[in-house]
Structure 1
Amino acid sequence: MTITTSLTTPLVAIVGITGKQGGSVARALIQSDQQYRIRGITRDVSKPAAKVFAEQGVELVQASLTVGNEEAAKQAFVGADIVFGVTNFPEHLDAGREIAEGKLIVDAVKSACPSLKLFVWSGIQSITELSGGRLQDANFFDSKAAVTAYARASGVPLAVVSPGYYMTNIFNAVSSALVAKGDGAYTFGFPMATTTRLPFADIPGDYGLYVRAAIERPEFGAGSELRAGTMCDLGEAMRELSEVSGKNITYEPISVDRFLATFPFKPLAPGLSHMYQSFEVNGFHGRKEPTEPALLGRKPKSWKEYLEGLGRDEVVKMLGLESK
């Protein structure tokens, strides 16, 4: 598709267009057989990623969607028919700030877009609610869920697209916690059973497929919830990682106490331990399966397909095992 400037086509405003989720949404809409005007909102229009989209016809708006910038936020959304919203918890690790910025986006969209057809929000389940209050302070799960509840109560036409488990997070976790067992063998583990199934998702490559479906498919739209990812249990994930990398890596679950003692970034450890305990019982999407691939523009990649696309050398490099 060629991005159009025709005023008769829907204007889609994408928050964080240079990020993993926002960029994926933009690429999915550019590849659609339907026509859109696309506005990308970013804090820095000079970024190389922003320039790539500008060259394809995307309108870029520079705005910081933070508390204190309410008027600039409203201006960024003026005239939009469809909005994709996301917040960036890893940037600051502050649940209160994430909630405030998510509410700011909702308020700005509601104020600036009187003809809004759909607000697509990158939301996830509340682990506190899923556990009946047993597991609390689960980092961004609860803060993003709070924004979902606020958006729903605001009356905006809302669709929620849950991103699934970032495939890149496996590399971050494995590379920092591999245990050498000798003879070239390694183990890795979370405080979750080997049979725990997670919806692995290539966010930059595939997340936008789900947002596009929320916008284009008649069975979705306002009131719908879509869930990204392809299911794989942790034991199988390590077997496939071993197969593609050529390294002998086995999944061995660890206790919560060991995780808390060994996780390098202590402020996040308690929340992450609650997150993993919830995954084991309730799954990532709250015991719900990912959205059917047949409803998407194309089939999303499985974990093994993602690894094979990277290739052995890149996988080994991402694991930090080039010289081992």
Structure 2
Amino acid sequence: MSLEREVSEGKLLIDAAKATGVKGIIWSGLVSIKKISGGKYTNDAFEGKAQVTEYGRAAGVPFVDVQAGAYATNFLNSSFPFVVKEADGTYALPSVARGTTVMSIIDIEHDYGLYVRWVLEMPVFPDGLNVYATSWDLSQEDQARQISEGTGKKVVFKQITPEVAAQRLISLGFPPAAAAGTIDTFQSMEEFGHHGGNPSTSAEGLALPTRTFAEWVKSADWSRVLV
């Protein structure tokens, strides 16, 4: 989907909600990595959601942005594998960012709704609030280690160059612009932090505790990835 279409459809959603007379809007946006980096990095998916967020905040309806971290289910996506099999039969978690780079990850099925519920159950709808919904803040090295421990497979972190990453993404069917945007996202994360450096929202006060990454790893179906 093009940036223009994504923004247009997002604005239509805001307009439709406003037309029904809703008392508040909860939207799942993303930060603009282009703005954060002063134009050094960009990703149309992030820019589109950031533009819709700005539009929503100006719409005149109480508005809360509940941003999701990286989806844990991405680790299980065989068509865009976060974990790849090496020639020696072991597995790697490849990234253009350093292994110490911390990612905010969300168990979208189990935990994201807890943050939305937390907003809805506040005594007063918190207009203007940004919520950075996260299950775990983990370095990429820790991700690989815990996947290895939880699955019994040898999984290690592996830093790769942007050129190698681009070749890999394009071989998976990514258009060159989308591949470049994905690479920019991880480079921005390393330089400026996930959520643009904004801290993850505390899980204290949620109706239920979030699961640990180790718990998620053990419950996940890795059969399409660790083969």
The aligned residue for residue 275 of structure 1 is 185
- SS of residue in 2 equivalent to 1:318: coil
The aligned residue for residue 16 of structure 2 is 108
Q: Distance in 1 between matches of 2:167 and 2:193?
A: 24
TM-score, normalised to structure 1's length?
0.65
- SS of residue in 2 equivalent to 1:120: strand
**Contact 1:200 1:302 (C-alpha < 8 Å) held by counterparts:** no
Q: Which has the larger radius of gyration?
A: 1
Cα separation, partners in 2 of 1:202 and 1:257, compared to 1, 3 Å:
same
Q: Distance in 1 between matches of 2:29 and 2:109?
A: 17
Q: Distance in 2 between matches of 1:149 and 1:119?
A: 13
Q: Which residue of the other structure, out of 82, 96, 102, is the alignment partner of 2:4?
A: 96
Q: Distance in 1 between matches of 2:191 and 2:58?
A: 29
Q: Distance in 1 between matches of 2:138 and 2:63?
A: 29
**Contact 2:96 2:162 (C-alpha < 8 Å) held by counterparts:** yes
Amino acid in structure 1 at the alignment position of 2:55 = Y
Using CA pairs below 8 Å that are at least 6 residues apart, which structure has the higher relative contact order? 2
Q: Which residue of the other structure, out of 69, 73, 92, is the alignment partner of 1:168?
A: 73
The aligned residue for residue 142 of structure 2 is 236
TM-score, normalised to structure 2's length?
0.91
Is 1:201 matched up with 2:106? Answer: yes
CA offsets per residue over residues 266-291 of structure 1, 9 Å max, x none?
31201111111111112221112221
The aligned residue for residue 306 of structure 1 is 216
The aligned residue for residue 160 of structure 2 is 254
The aligned residue for residue 288 of structure 1 is 198
Unpaired runs of 5+ residues, structure 2, are none
Q: Distance in 2 between matches of 1:253 and 1:219?
A: 46
Identity %: 32
Cα separation, partners in 2 of 1:309 and 1:187, compared to 1, 3 Å:
closer
Q: Distance in 2 between matches of 1:254 and 1:161?
A: 32
Q: Distance in 1 between matches of 2:20 and 2:57?
A: 17
Instruction: Give, in angstroms, the shift of residue 220 of structure 1.
Output: 6.2
Unpaired runs of 5+ residues, structure 1, are 1-92
Give aligned pairs, total.
Answer: 221
**Contact 1:214 1:224 (C-alpha < 8 Å) held by counterparts:** no
Is 1:225 matched up with 2:130? Answer: yes
Amino acid in structure 1 at the alignment position of 2:211 = K
Q: Distance in 2 between matches of 1:140 and 1:301?
A: 27
The aligned residue for residue 152 of structure 1 is 57
The aligned residue for residue 140 of structure 1 is 45
